[in-house]
């Protein structure tokens, strides 16, 4: 069963289901990617420099035997690399062993001090994140646009950007409108308003942590469980199918073969079964007292910025 694609605003097609790879232990990712691509039919892998797993992702893709041209690879620019985007892209390309990325995202709309006390999470002496508050993310974006023009990336996007950040700090200054905004979107944090805004601007929403992240806490939700029972599916299928039904690109992570398989096949089955009424029922869950984030970065709190996605 093939996963449907949708078109990004520059015509590039992206599969609606992608394999997430964050927090996969060493020596787990290559096998997970190989299995997902070779045995199940995934054609979209989401990784990031910051996950430290690009080499393994590349290895998994090569081991699958499926041609690179059939696979959609996303990686992300880390927060300490905003002043040297092309070098960061080149590093990701070398890690993955590929000549181009299908999608490259600004991981967070935050520039952390590249000369700070840690290459990934630099902190000031008082323990707060070492953010360069006078940096303009539109300057980062211009470098990302240049990499598209050089043929190193097919599409560029953002992650963790609120409507406010997009409207005030990015969209007025871009030549290329971001193709996607990758956000924490799931049953308990559906971000209806932001999703609607993104779609109005031609920006595809991508859902990370669609199962509630580590330990998949959303699997215990009663509404998802009831719909799973009704359709003889798993709760995960309902949670993922709910998002895919709305044309939200969805990125479930698993390193467990049976889950990698069911997250793909079960989701497509759920998409074919969920009715408008079911979707409306799921849409109402968060508002009925269940609104919750699982990934709110603790380092978002100490920035003093009013720009985190709501």
Residues carrying an active site annotation: 51
Q: Which residue is nearest to ligand NDP (CB)?
A: 20
Question: CA distances (Å), 39 to each of 42, 66, 87, 108, 250, in order?
Answer: 9, 11, 34, 33, 19
Classify residue 142 by burial, with Cβ atoms within 10 Å: 0-12, 13-18, 19+. Answer: middle
Instruction: Using the minimum distance from each CB to ligand NDP, give the nearer residue, 51 or 100.
Output: 51
295 binds ligand NDP (CB under 6 A): yes
State the binding string over 13-52 for ligand NDP (x if CB under 6 A, else -).
Answer: -------xxxx----------------------x------
210 binds ligand NDP (CB under 6 A): yes
CB of 191 to ligand NDP, least distance (A): 14
The token pair at 142 is 């211009």
Instruction: Using the minimum distance from each CB to ligand NDP, give the nearer residue, 36 or 147.
Output: 36
189 binds ligand NDP (CB under 6 A): no
Among 209, 223, 267, 307, binds ligand NDP (CB under 6 A): 209
268 binds ligand NDP (CB under 6 A): no
Among 259, 269, 271, 309, binds ligand NDP (CB under 6 A): 259
81 is in an annotated binding site: no
Q: How many CA atoms lie within 13 A of 225 on its CB side?
A: 6
CB 78 within 8 A of CB 120: yes
Q: Residue 278: helix, strand or coil by DSSP? A: helix
CB of 207 to ligand NDP, least distance (A): 8
How far is it between the farthest Cα atoms of the chain? 55
Give the DSSP H or E segment for 46: strand 44-46
Sequence length of the chain is: 310
213 binds ligand NDP (CB under 6 A): yes
Q: What is the rounded distance in angstroms from the CA atom of residue 273 to the CA atom of residue 254?
A: 24
159 binds ligand NDP (CB under 6 A): yes
Closest among 90, 119, 89, 94 to 105, alpha carbons compared: 89
Q: What is the rounded distance in angstroms from the CA atom of residue 139 to the CA atom of residue 48?
A: 21
Q: What is the rounded distance in angstroms from the CA atom of residue 92 to the CA atom of residue 139?
A: 20
Number of neighbours of residue 104 by Cβ within 10 angstroms? 28
CB of 267 to ligand NDP, least distance (A): 10
Q: Which stretch binds ligand NDP (CB under 6 A): 85-93, 128-136, 249-257, 278-286?
A: 249-257
Q: Which of residues 102-131 bind ligand NDP (CB under 6 A)?
A: 107
Instruction: Using the minimum distance from each CB to ligand NDP, give the nearer residue, 29 or 148.
Output: 29
Among 61, 106, 110, 255, binds ligand NDP (CB under 6 A): 255
138 binds ligand NDP (CB under 6 A): no
Instruction: Using the minimum distance from each CB to ligand NDP, give the nearer residue, 100 or 264.
Output: 264
Positive or negative: CA dihedral 159, 161, 165, 170? positive
Pick out the residues of the known binding site for substrate.
Answer: 107
Q: Which residues contact ligand NDP (rule: CB under 6 A)?
A: 20-23, 46, 107, 159-160, 182, 208-216, 219, 236, 251-256, 259, 262-263, 295
């Amino acid at each position: 069963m093939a996963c449907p694609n949708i078109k990004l605003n520059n015509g590039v097609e992206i599969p609606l289901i992608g394999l997430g790879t964050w927090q996969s232990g060493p020596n787990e990712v290559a096998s997970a990617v190989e299995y997902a691509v070779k045995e199940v039919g995934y054609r979209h892998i989401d990784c990031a420099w910051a996950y430290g797993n690009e080499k393994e992702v590349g290895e998994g893709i090569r081991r699958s035997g499926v041609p690179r041209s059939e696979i959609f690879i996303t990686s992300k620019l880390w927060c300490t690399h905003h002043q040297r985007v092309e070098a960061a892209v080149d590093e990701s390309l070398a890690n993955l062993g590929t000549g181009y990325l299908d999608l490259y995202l600004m991981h967070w709309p935050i520039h952390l001090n590249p000369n700070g006390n840690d290459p990934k999470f630099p902190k000031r002496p008082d323990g707060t994140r070492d953010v360069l508050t006078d940096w303009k993310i539109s300057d980062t974006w211009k470098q990302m646009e240049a990499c598209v023009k050089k043929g190193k990336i097919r599409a560029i996007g953002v992650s963790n950007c609120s409507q406010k950040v997009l409207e005030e700090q990015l969209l007025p200054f871009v030549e290329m409108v971001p193709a996607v905004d990758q956000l924490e979107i799931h049953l308990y944090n559906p971000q209806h308003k932001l999703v609607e805004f993104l779609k109005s601007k031609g920006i595809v929403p991508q859902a990370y942590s669609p199962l509630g992240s580590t330990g998949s806490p959303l699997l215990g939700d009663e509404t998802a469980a009831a719909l799973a029972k009704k359709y003889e599916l798993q709760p995960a299928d309902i949670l993922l199918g709910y998002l895919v039904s709305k044309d939200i690109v969805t990125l479930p992570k698993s390193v467990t073969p049976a889950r990698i398989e069911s997250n793909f096949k079960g989701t497509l089955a759920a998409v074919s079964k969920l009715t408008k009424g079911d979707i409306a029922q799921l849409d109402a869950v968060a508002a009925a007292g269940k609104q919750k984030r699982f990934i709110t970065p603790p380092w978002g709190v100490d920035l003093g910025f009013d720009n985190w996605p709501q």
